[in-house]
Structure 1
């Protein structure tokens, strides 16, 4: 077996218990994934939408030219303008429209009353401070039954020039407050009946603000106001797992068990056990790599008989001698013998033969002499 195989076996033997625990843990994890994925997946709670609804309330407006000019001929209808001239078109006509849609059978009764609202209001850090407020009806008692996607339209008409005079007069009655004078068209909508099979009894308010100036008035239309909602139910369904869970569980289970069985078998049959010769070789190779910078490969010539020759038992010991004497270690390029020459002494270390490698007769004799 090559060096890589010996080192691998030594690593496995040195970490046998840890490897066995890891493999058993992997198999246990695979068993859990396999059990939950294939045997007892369990259940989970899901939320399912059973119905939904949406409503929309909006204002549209126009003004007919009553005092014709060069730019605006009398009788022309100006629609959804941001600004109207008070002298040219003093009356604002409009329609409040409401509609809703529902996913299931519904039947609502809608009642809309439209008012003109006058008030004096001041903005504060905590919201609005209303000094006074007056509401007067424009359109009342508009009621009809609405099915889903039906549209309810309620018309109204307001003379803005007169409304501007009215709001100033009411404020004078209160001593001319410091608040901001406002005019708005208010639609108060009441809904009753069933929507998606559920009882409904609610009210909503929609607002169209009118801002008059000396010669004109501006309509601050915020556009459609929408509301909506849905109804859900919770159900228990069987859990589902992805392919990684479904395939990875059995793979981890059988892979972990198989590797653990192979590890135990190798330990019981001494397949993983290193021989003494392999252990000596691995110790030498580890030291050879660690102290490579102290070793130079070269030719080792014979020495005189008066030179003392000493054999050392390990490469580490030879390295210690080289450090103490400040000499290099020479590795023979012919037989890999390692020596340190100090002038009057020769220290040598013969590395163990690699197990399984072909050796010469001389090498075999050297090994047996050890």
Structure 2
């Protein structure tokens, strides 16, 4: 499609699809306006479930062992604190303390109960095969204020723990799983949460393992448990950037497009005139049959043959196919010919339409429809085929002058015709004169519908014409 017809194509499509464009743009206005309003004007609310913390109970172990046996390393009576390893002979008794701290958001008090026990059990992959539990110490504290704690002290003998473990394993025989021992501290807290009485409990463990003359105590750190209640909270609805930004953009696109269409219809900028429709149809046919057309300057002797006029380029191409002739475009006049043996069929293409009054051209129409400044190449008459602005009457006058000149110098006309045919690619058979030499033909074996490779255009001498 020629550069100068792009604007006509856009206008033709916009004119024929105008109702559909109106519906689509109106839908953009409605959808974009609704999305913009929901995102920025009235986003609405939504309900969310949230957990509200009321109070928390946390606990932590401290442990130590007193040196009860004389040895060259530690002074007897000294206390070893929070070590990872103690000695069974020098420090056989482990002294521990578990402190439970209560913290309230609202400052309410709570009742705490702390129990400690020595647990020995065999476990594997979460499966407990047997458990031996011995209570150590316990305490209770009522009305514990926020920030205060309740603590309990306990003691265990590492030698007795080793003997107890060996006794159980010996009595049970070979037991599956791995035997472990730990001090379990269980805290039970009773308080209020959300106006209701709530009980929370947590269990904290202090692992102890005896291995020969030493025993190890792991430091588990602190653990906590929080009393919460589920609440339904109403919050403002939030939208993503696609919704928040896409809605206004879609609304502006739809509104701008509708406004542009309204202006274009009021100025009659979309409808094509008869001349514009003819020129657009010709341009389409020119592009479609481009491979059929060759550009050659025809001698006057060929143009003087009996002539018939075709209504369209498509009709001219049909004639050329039926008569096995070529389609020639005169680069000087822009006229198309199909040259037969005794007849020349011609087609005069329409001239490019003039620019409309008010400066409305293809580029402005395209910009009006799309809402942007898009250049469609203008309507300055640029196309793939150059149309001759000279009228048919002027062409006839020019042909008469040419005839007079040829009659005055027939020999010169024949020489000129032969030279022009050679310059045009030898698409026309140049007559060798009246001596009967064979004409020279231009090879076009690859042209559709030409099995013999000829163009079907003969440029005969004056005698042959």
- TM-score where L is the length of structure 2: 0.65
- Cα gap change, 1:40 to 1:288, in 2 (>3 Å): same
- Cα gap change, 1:146 to 1:333, in 2 (>3 Å): same
Compare 283-292 and 2-11 and name the one that shifted more.
Answer: 2-11
Alignment equivalent of 2:175, drawn from 175, 178, 183: 178
- Contact 1:105–1:195 (8 Å) recurs in 2: no
C-alpha distance in 1, partners of 2:306/2:193?
A: 112
C-alpha distance in 1, partners of 2:44/2:60?
A: 50
2:86 corresponds in structure 1 to 84
C-alpha distance in 2, partners of 1:248/1:102?
A: 47
1:362 aligned onto 2:360? no
What CA deviation, in whole Å up to 9, does each residue of 1:283-341 have, x standing for no partner? 11122223334334343332247845443222223334555667654322222112344
C-alpha distance in 2, partners of 1:364/1:261?
A: 46
- Contact 1:108–1:195 (8 Å) recurs in 2: no
- Contact 1:340–1:348 (8 Å) recurs in 2: yes
What CA deviation, in whole Å up to 9, does each residue of 1:56-105 have, x standing for no partner? 22222222333344444444433333332312322212221222433222
1:123 corresponds in structure 2 to 124
What are the within-5 Å matches in structure 2 for residues 5-154 of structure 1?
5-33=7-35, 36=38, 41-47=43-49, 50-119=52-121, 121-123=122-124, 127-130=127-130, 132-135=131-134, 137-143=135-141, 145-154=143-152
Shift of residue 188, structure 1, vs aligned partner: 2.5
- Cα gap change, 1:122 to 1:297, in 2 (>3 Å): same
1:275 corresponds in structure 2 to 273
C-alpha distance in 2, partners of 1:36/1:134?
A: 63
C-alpha distance in 2, partners of 1:34/1:188?
A: 57
The DSSP-based 3-state class of the residue aligned with 2:137 is strand
Q: Whose strand proportion is higher, 1 or 2?
A: 1
Shift of residue 279, structure 1, vs aligned partner: 0.7
Shift of residue 269, structure 1, vs aligned partner: 7.2
- Contact 1:102–1:148 (8 Å) recurs in 2: yes
Shift of residue 262, structure 1, vs aligned partner: 5.5
Count of residue pairs the alignment pairs up: 361
Compare 261-270 and 13-22 and name the one that shifted more.
Answer: 261-270
- Contact 1:103–1:196 (8 Å) recurs in 2: no
What CA deviation, in whole Å up to 9, does each residue of 1:174-208 have, x standing for no partner? 45462554432122222123356542224333222
2:463 corresponds in structure 1 to none
- TM-score where L is the length of structure 1: 0.79
Shift of residue 6, structure 1, vs aligned partner: 2.5
C-alpha distance in 1, partners of 2:304/2:37?
A: 80
What CA deviation, in whole Å up to 9, does each residue of 1:141-173 have, x standing for no partner? 34354222323332222111122113333555x
1:165 corresponds in structure 2 to 163
Compare 335-344 and 211-220 and name the one that shifted more.
Answer: 335-344
Unaligned runs of 5+ in 1: none
The DSSP-based 3-state class of the residue aligned with 1:22 is helix
- Cα gap change, 1:157 to 1:34, in 2 (>3 Å): closer
1:208 corresponds in structure 2 to 206
1:295 corresponds in structure 2 to 293
CA RMSD of aligned residues (A): 3.7
The DSSP-based 3-state class of the residue aligned with 2:159 is helix
Shift of residue 22, structure 1, vs aligned partner: 0.5
- Contact 1:67–1:74 (8 Å) recurs in 2: yes
C-alpha distance in 1, partners of 2:236/2:179?
A: 63
C-alpha distance in 1, partners of 2:37/2:94?
A: 74
Alignment equivalent of 1:333, drawn from 310, 331, 334: 331
- Cα gap change, 1:225 to 1:5, in 2 (>3 Å): same
